[in-house]
Amino acid sequence: MAEEIIEVPITGTVISVEVKVGDKVEEGDVLLYIESMKMENPVMAPVAGTVTEIRVSEQQVVETGGILAVIEY
């Protein structure tokens, strides 16, 4: 199986995590929301698979390029 690493697309604060480790997701499903400049930005699954890691938590400040989660497919 392969892994897809989901990186932080925009610097901001994680305001909600919509999935947990072990969840099966489809391409386009919302994984979490990042607030940046008073806007909620969804981070969506780029592939269908199983969430194997979540490396952030709610209220955590994240910077572009950091790792949010890993999906195995």
* Token representation of residue 14: 């994680």
Q: What is the pLDDT, as a whole number, of residue 41?
A: 98
pLDDT of res. 18: 98
Exposed, middle or buried, 9 (CB in 10 Å: 0-12/13-18/19+)? middle
Which of 70, 28, 21, 69 minimizes the C-alpha distance to 47?
A: 28
pLDDT category of residue 22 using cuts at 50, 70 and 90: very high
Q: How do the domains of the chain map onto residue ranges?
A: 3-72
pLDDT tens string 51-63: 999 999 999 999 9
Longest dimension (CA), the chain: 38
Specify the CATH architecture of the domain 3-72.
Answer: Beta Barrel (2.40)
* Average confidence score pLDDT of the chain: 98
Enumerate residues 6+ apart whose C-beta is below 8 A from 39: none
